[in-house]
Amino acid sequence: MISPKDTPDAPGSLTGTDRQLFHLKSLYEASSALAVPARPADLLRAFLPVAMGPLGLTFGFGILLHAGALTIESLGLQPPAADLYRASGLDLVHKFFPEDAAPAHPSRPVILAGEHLSHDPNLPMGTAAVIALSMGAGTHAVLGFGPKVAGVPLDADETRLLDGLASVLGHALNNATAMECVRDLNTSLARRNDDLHRALGESERAREALSRHTLQLRALYETTLEMIDIHEPGGILDAFLLSLMGTLSFTGGWIALYGPGHGRAEAVCRGLAPCVREELVSETGRGAVLARFVALKDRIPHANHACLVDDPEERQALPAQADAAVLFTLDQGWQGAIGLSAPLSGERDDELLDEDARQLLHSLVANFMVTLGNARQLDLIRELNSELAARNVDLQTTLDALTSAKREIDVQTKAKEHLVALVHGEVERVWRASWLDICLILLAGATLGILYNLSSPGGIDLVPKSLLAPPPVMIEAAEARRLARDDKAVIIDARPGDFFLQGHIPDAVNLPEDLFEFVYSMKLSDLDPAVPLLVYGRNISRRYDADVARQLELLGHERVLLIKGGLDAWNGLGPEEAP
């Protein structure tokens, strides 16, 4: 490289051919120095000594505006001047390339040279030449150079050399800008490729997840389709077991369902020995399954819930072989277990079911429990309908019996009304009887009585003795109470026993006429004949008191008195006061 110190007297000492050769060599060296791949700022930094050396310039500076960033490089400037253009370099660029101007296109450099530049306030003192470059797309450069070391201005050949160097810089900057654009594009493409790879990976994972979900949904759909037309719990157990074995690839399996009471058990099995089902429905099998619920403690499934049995020891404790097992609980106290054995893959490790298979198993069992619960509800409804039908039959029988009884009652009511009407007619007819009819009836009665007495030694009284006997002695109820209290009289209730039990005078002796001899001999035979006997008891048709009083008088009792008004008069006196 040619340095400014090597050429102070070159322009004056070289001949025309040598000088052109020197300028061409300088252009070649500048092209070689700027041909290496570099950033625009690095090219600007490398250009200043390449341009200043061949021309013997005292200082130089360059301002580059690229992609919104400003780069300032200087060589030979005093530090204060360099700091000044670091602060105002952007304004200097905008003087040559205004912001509101139309977008510039790459063009040849513009060179300003002359002594007038040395006094421009926008440029460093002594500036001899200014170059303005535009690479288009917002990339601009402004370069300034000081006077020659020899103190003479630049001649025409040197100005052309400077123009050539500026063109080389312009091409280099264009290439660097293009390279940066290519690098930015490559970086953007690489980033987009990475994004596409990530998106592709996510898409692949989403596709796999979608495939799994599709498989699960298909399995759920097919299982539901197989069980939808089955309404009997045993059929549902068998259909679900077959579907579950096919979906999860097992060759054997069983399902046991236990009700809230003993003896209520159902079980199905596939691919296992026939005795397995007998074991499942036995009390031993029931106890073994229910014991697993107890062993779960906090994880025991509640109503309409299921859980996998992950512990191998717990699975071994089930009543039948199970490489995978589920415990489930329906409502109304129904509990059960599902066991799957002998996988087609031949593996029997603890992680036989992956997470997807476990989720699918949970979903299938949940669907199974809903279907089974509906079937049990349907069974319950059938039982209730049967009970209602039986009750309806009983009610119909009762209704028929009531209808028949009502008909009989209606018949009897009509018969009663007929009899009442007949009696009323007879009564009316009796009331219409004449005195001649009465006389004939009395005469007929007397004739029948005489004939009976003639044929029977005991005979009967044609006239009641009470009508012939003297009237009994009466006593007021108040006097009778006083006499019973003072003279210790005995009160005799002459009414039948039924009337006596309905109500009587306190301490009265029930002496009905039909039991007269028996009661008298038991209670009154030892009584002093002088003790007063107060007798009561009569109604509208019978005078029990008079008949009993007469018999007592015949037995020798001296004071037999009838209480006037009987029990009603006695009760009308009120409660007896204490003496």
Report helix, strand or coil for 134: strand
- Rounded CA-CA distance 102/451 in Å is 168
The reply to whether 295 and 151 lie within a common domain is no
Nearest to 246, CA basis, from 271, 264, 282, 281? 271
- Rounded CA-CA distance 339/318 in Å is 9
CATH number at residue 537: 3.40.250.10
pLDDT of 259 above 80: yes
The reply to whether 238 and 324 lie within a common domain is yes
The reply to whether 254 and 364 lie within a common domain is yes
- Rounded CA-CA distance 381/388 in Å is 10
Residue 3: per-residue pLDDT: 42
Identify whether 133 is part of a domain. Answer: yes
The reply to whether 47 and 160 lie within a common domain is yes
pLDDT range class, residue 197, cuts 50, 70, 90: very high
**Tens-digit pLDDT profile for residues 348-395:** 665 678 888 888 888 899 889 888 888 888 888 888 999 999 999 999
Nearest to 179, CA basis, from 317, 40, 333? 40
The reply to whether 179 and 237 lie within a common domain is no
Residue 7: per-residue pLDDT: 45
Residue 458: per-residue pLDDT: 59
pLDDT range class, residue 396, cuts 50, 70, 90: very high
Task: Tell me what percent of the residues of the chain surpass a pLDDT of 90.
Answer: 21
Identify whether 217 is part of a domain. Answer: no
Identify whether 115 is part of a domain. Answer: yes
pLDDT of 253 above 90: yes
Domain range for 67: 22-185
What is the number of residues in the chain? Answer: 579
Q: Per the structure, how many domains does the chain have?
A: 3
pLDDT of 4 above 60: no
Secondary structure, 3-state, 65-120: EECCEEEEEEECCCHHHHHHHHHHHHHHHHHHCCCCCCCCCCCCCEEEECHHHHHC
Nearest to 59, CA basis, from 116, 4, 114? 4
Identify whether 305 is part of a domain. Answer: yes
The reply to whether 26 and 174 lie within a common domain is yes
DSSP character for 521? Answer: I
User: Does residue 82 contact residue 74 with C-beta atoms inside 8 Å?
Assistant: yes
Pairing mode of beta strands 110-113, 69-75: unpaired
pLDDT range class, residue 327, cuts 50, 70, 90: very high
Identify whether 422 is part of a domain. Answer: no
Token representation of residue 481? 């109470």
User: Does residue 145 contact residue 161 with C-beta atoms inside 8 Å?
Assistant: no
The reply to whether 109 and 52 lie within a common domain is yes
CATH number at residue 117: 3.30.450.40
Identify whether 323 is part of a domain. Answer: yes
Axis-axis angle for helices 156-227, 40-55 (nearest 10): 170
Q: How far apart are the first and last CA of the chain?
A: 166
Report helix, strand or coil for 3: coil
**Tens-digit pLDDT profile for residues 297-324:** 666 677 788 888 888 888 889 999 898 9
Poorest-pLDDT segment among 142-146, 179-183, 207-211 = 179-183
Identify whether 298 is part of a domain. Answer: yes
The reply to whether 252 and 104 lie within a common domain is no
The reply to whether 62 and 180 lie within a common domain is yes
Residue 457: per-residue pLDDT: 59
% helix, strand, coil for the chain, step of 5:
55, 15, 30
User: Does residue 241 contact residue 365 with C-beta atoms inside 8 Å?
Assistant: no
The reply to whether 27 and 91 lie within a common domain is yes
Identify whether 459 is part of a domain. Answer: no
DSSP character for 470? Answer: P
The reply to whether 295 and 373 lie within a common domain is yes
